[in-house]
């Protein structure tokens, strides 16, 4: 939990609405994303240090009616054709040849120099267009001897650690629309010291069987009633990434039309149900469940899961206001990206961990001083294993909900997708 406002009172009594102000800073602080891999287009047969603005297209061309000089003379034509649709600067043939003694085919590698990196699927589309051009200009390239492998395109290679940087940003832009900060008003009241403070957690805007709700951890809500909650919503259409030089925007928290709160203390899950007909004024998007909910507790793709939340260590002071009987401190919450790889199950961790329900993530932030408090209730996101179309789109899947942190072994507990689904099914039974 994060203390967002601390007010010293001469006597504890309800405050006016303006004193409940919490400001939200939409500048994304990408924890761990600074070291996310760059887009890489690796040369065939070279090491990983190759120029990231180059990609290789390999084609097999019959030797009978073609020589290397005639092939090279036509490359400017290919360059001009590809440059009308893609950021192509130049194309040249690599001197390095595979199987140069083959009597029937040239097996050639063509280096495409790019003005800027492109994502994998766009590079593959460009390579396909180039191969079609070669087949048209050099007939017979489809006729290959049996000793050759099927004509292949060597697409840009993704870094093994995770998503490419371009795709990663698109992925984060998508989940930022669904991520909501949850402010629990007066969660911490100390009558002896005459103080009260807000608490902060994270939730995910979802739809389930016609209901619009915010999925989070039960302990983020605690005993709060609908009137005791406020929310931090996304403001801009695009994230203000660090290093872009744009001024930070700070906006007020909002009150959403909460119909009721559904709690599950057993699994530490909660759903804040919203009144759909009253959501029009709010800048929100909702993740459709169960379509985008993981069916298992294992990830098919290698790499890290991604969480977006509001850690207490990224909160900073905005202003201080004194009144006759109180001092109010106003703070801004900065949303932060956290990545984590799946850890092996632990047998002797604690009773709070259930191996058949939970998934453990390694907590290894770039800043070792940053605590995970404030990420509670955040969705752990993964990419859909099977992409639905030819062109790549940011298809995010809720892998689970973060509910607990084990600080000594530096592990995060995520309640897996199957348990989340069961909670929602029980909470919203079919009519």
Angle between helices 75-83 and 120-137 (to 10 degrees): 140
The verdict on residue 361 lying in a domain is yes
Which of 51, 57, 31 is closest to 39 using CA atoms? Answer: 51
For residues 28 and 65, state if they share a domain.
no
Query: DSSP H helical segments within 267-320, as ranges?
Result: none
What's the pLDDT score for residue 249?
Answer: 73
pLDDT tens, residue by residue, 240-278: 666 566 776 777 889 999 999 999 999 999 999 999 999
Tell me the mean pLDDT in the region 166-176: 78
pLDDT tens by residue, 204-217: 999 999 999 999 99
226 and 359 in a single domain? The answer is yes
Domain that holds residue 87: 54-137
Element (H, E) at 412: strand 411-416
Which is higher by pLDDT, 10 or 320?
320
Q: Name the domain boundary from 121, 137, 153.
A: 137
Q: Do residues 22 and 59 both lie within one domain?
A: no
Mean per-residue pLDDT over the chain, rounded: 76
Q: What is the pLDDT of residues 155-167, one digit of tens each?
A: 333 443 334 455 6
Residue 90 counted as domain residue: yes
| Beta-carbon-side half-sphere exposure of residue 391 (alpha carbons within 13 Å) | 4
Q: Which of 137, 155, 189 is the last residue of a domain?
A: 137
Q: Using 50, 70 and 90 to split pLDDT, how confident is the model at 385?
A: low
* Domain assignment present for 143: no
Residue 214 and residue 109 share a domain = no
Q: How confident is the model at residue 111 (pLDDT cuts 50, 70, 90)?
A: confident
User: Comparing C-alpha atoms, which of 33, 103, 116, 101 is closest to residue 307?
Assistant: 33
Residues 59, 29 share a domain = no
With 50 as the cut, is the pLDDT of residue 39 above it?
A: no
Establish if 73 belongs to a structural domain: yes
Provide the CATH number for the domain around residue 170. Answer: 2.40.10.10
Query: Which CATH number covers residue 90?
Result: 3.30.70
Structure tokens at 314: 């990224």
Mean pLDDT of 118-142: 76
| 180 lies in the same domain as 236 | yes
With a cut of 60, say whether residue 28 has pLDDT above it: no
Averaged pLDDT for residues 10-33: 35
48 belongs to a structural domain: no
201 with 130, same domain: the answer is no
Higher pLDDT, 364 or 139: 364
What's the CA gap between 261 and 273, in Å, rounded?
Answer: 6
Q: Structural domain tally of the chain?
A: 2
Q: Tell me if 45 is assigned to some domain.
A: no
- Same domain? 13 vs 122: no
107 occurs within a structural domain? yes
| 403 phi-psi bin (left φ>0, alpha ψ -120 to 50, beta other) | alpha
Q: Do 231 and 347 have their domain in common?
A: yes
**Structure confidence by residue, pLDDT tens digits, 55-91:** 888 888 877 667 788 888 889 999 998 988 888 889 9
Query: Per the domain annotation, does 158 fall within a domain?
Result: no
Residues 193 and 300 in one domain: yes
Residues 224 and 76 occupy one common structural domain: no
Q: Are residues 319 and 356 in the same domain?
A: yes
97-101, 370-374, 389-393, range with the lowest pLDDT: 389-393
């Amino acid at each position: 939990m994060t203390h967002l406002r601390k007010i010293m009172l001469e006597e504890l009594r309800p405050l006016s609405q303006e004193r409940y102000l919490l400001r939200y800073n939409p500048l994304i602080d990408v924890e761990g994303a600074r070291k996310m891999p760059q887009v890489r287009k690796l040369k065939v047969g070279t090491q990983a240090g190759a120029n990231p603005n180059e990609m290789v297209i390999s084609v097999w061309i019959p030797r009978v009616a073609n020589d290397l000089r005639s092939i090279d003379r036509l490359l400017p034509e290919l360059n001009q054709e590809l440059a009308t649709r893609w950021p192509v600067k130049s194309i040249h043939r690599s001197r390095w040849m595979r199987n140069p003694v083959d009597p029937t085919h040239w097996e050639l590698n063509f280096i495409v120099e790019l003005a800027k990196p492109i994502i994998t699927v766009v590079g593959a589309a460009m390579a396909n267009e180039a191969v079609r051009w070669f087949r048209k200009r050099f007939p017979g390239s489809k006729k290959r001897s049996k000793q050759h492998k099927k004509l292949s395109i060597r697409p840009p290679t993704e870094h093994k650690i995770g998503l490419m940087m371009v795709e990663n940003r698109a992925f984060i832009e998508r989940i930022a629309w669904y991520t909501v900060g949850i402010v629990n008003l007066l969660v911490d009241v100390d009558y002896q010291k005459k103080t009260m403070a807000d608490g902060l957690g994270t939730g995910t805007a979802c739809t389930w069987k016609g209901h619009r709700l915010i999925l989070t951890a039960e302990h983020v809500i605690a005993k709060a009633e609908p009137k005791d909650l406020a929310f931090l919503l996304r403001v801009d259409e695009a994230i203000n990434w660090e290093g872009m030089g744009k001024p930070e925007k700070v906006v007020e928290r909002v009150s959403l039309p909460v119909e009721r709160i559904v709690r599950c203390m057993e699994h530490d899950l909660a759903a804040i149900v919203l009144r759909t007909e009253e959501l029009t004024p709010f800048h929100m998007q909702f993740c459709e469940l169960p379509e985008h909910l993981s069916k298992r507790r294992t990830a098919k793709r290698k790499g890290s899961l991604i969480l977006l939340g509001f850690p207490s260590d990224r909160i900073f002071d905005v202003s201080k206001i004194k009144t006759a009987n109180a001092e109010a401190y106003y703070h801004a919450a900065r949303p932060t990206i956290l990545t984590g790889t799946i850890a092996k199950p632990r047998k002797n961790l604690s009773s709070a961990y259930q191996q058949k329900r939970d998934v453990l993530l390694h907590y290894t932030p770039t800043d070792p001083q940053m605590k995970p408090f404030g990420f509670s209730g955040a969705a752990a996101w993964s990419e859909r294993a099977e992409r639905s179309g030819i062109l790549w789109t940011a298809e995010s899947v809720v892998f689970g909900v973060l509910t607990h942190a084990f600080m000594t072994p530096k592990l995060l507990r995520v309640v897996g997708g199957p348990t989340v689904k069961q909670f929602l099914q029980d909470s919203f039974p079919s009519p």
